[in-house]
Amino acid sequence: MNTAPLPIVLIPGFMLDETLWDDFVHNYPEDRVFIRASLSKGKSIAEYASQIVENLPPRFILVGFSLGGYVARAIAEAFPERTAGMVLIATSLREDTPEQQALLDKASLTALQGDFKGFSDAVLKPALHALRQNDQDLIQKIRDMGKHLGAEVFRAQALLDRRDITRSPIACPLLVIASEGDGMRGLNESREINALLGGDFVTLGDSGHMLPLEQPLILARTLSVWFNNNHL
């Protein structure tokens, strides 16, 4: 009987690449197999989900951050028998408002017309805790991820339709993680997920929206304890 721990699939957020998880993986307290998914190819949540699953083993645990949470839910809905557990971090069930969609549409079109070098400080700072908003190393890391993905990916992600992903209770163990200082996806949005999908709920402090970057050690320990408690 194979008793090896199941692999953990790490799905990044909007305009973030696989390096989002560097510090999280480095700080993880146990020896686990991590599979870092990419959202660099595809035009829909369903396409992202199907491309990720193509390269996964028969059973896995999903960890989705922000936009990655939408993709994780789509995978769990399409492949419930293969999804052993799921963690949703700083994400939401909500769609973009018309105003948000209009801003993304305009910004992504502008990016296509010029030399896209990632997002400005004015865009990135609200995603961070007040004490990290002048952390230039952190801001540059986020900017570099956006620059690496490029304007075409920005356009594709800006136009994503976030509707019609399951809002039904999840059959597998589920952990919803929120940040007290998240200025992008507030506590109420995380509580909505917990109320509709079920599972456990944890709030972490001293962080803005970017939990994997701002609090990688606490996040890693939180997931390790929860996985062990749920025999995952």
Which amino acid is located at 84 in the chain? Answer: A
User: Which two three-digit tokens encode residue 212?
Assistant: 């994997």
- Average pLDDT on 69-94 reads 95
Q: Give 20's contacts (C-beta < 8 A, 6+ positions apart).
A: 10, 12, 13, 65, 145, 212, 213
CB-CB contact of 20 with 209 (8 Å): no
Q: Cβ distance 194 to 171 under 8 Å? A: no
pLDDT of residue 99: 79
Kindly report the pTM of this predicted structure: 0.95
The sign of the CA dihedral 36, 206, 146, 151 is positive
Q: Are 217 and 27 in contact (CB under 8 A)?
A: yes
Which among 150, 184, 160 has a CA at the least distance from the CA of 66?
184
> What is the mean pLDDT of the segment spanning 186-206?
93
The pLDDT tens digits of the residues spanning 96-119 come to: 777 777 887 787 787 778 778 888
Which one is predicted more confidently, 158 or 109?
158
Any idea which of 34-48, 160-174, 203-217 has the lowest mean pLDDT? 160-174
Separation of alpha carbons 221 and 28, rounded Å:
7
Q: Domain map of the chain by residue range?
A: 8-94+164-229, 98-157
6: Cα separation from own chain's centroid: 19
| H/E segment holding residue 201 | strand 200-204
Return the bridge partners of 87, or none: 63, 175
One of 3.40.50.1820, 3.40.640.10, 3.40.1390.20, 3.40.1500.10 is the CATH number of 8-94+164-229, namely 3.40.50.1820
**Residues paired with residue 200 on neighbouring β-strands, in sequence order:** 175
The reported pLDDT for the residue numbered 34 is 98
Mention every residue, 6+ apart, whose C-beta is less than 8 A from residue 89.
63, 64, 65, 66, 68, 69, 177, 211, 212, 219
pLDDT confidence tier of residue 166, bands split at 50, 70 and 90: low
Q: What's the mean pLDDT in 136-146?
A: 95
The per-residue pLDDT for range 2-20, each reduced to its tens digit, is 578 899 999 999 999 999 9
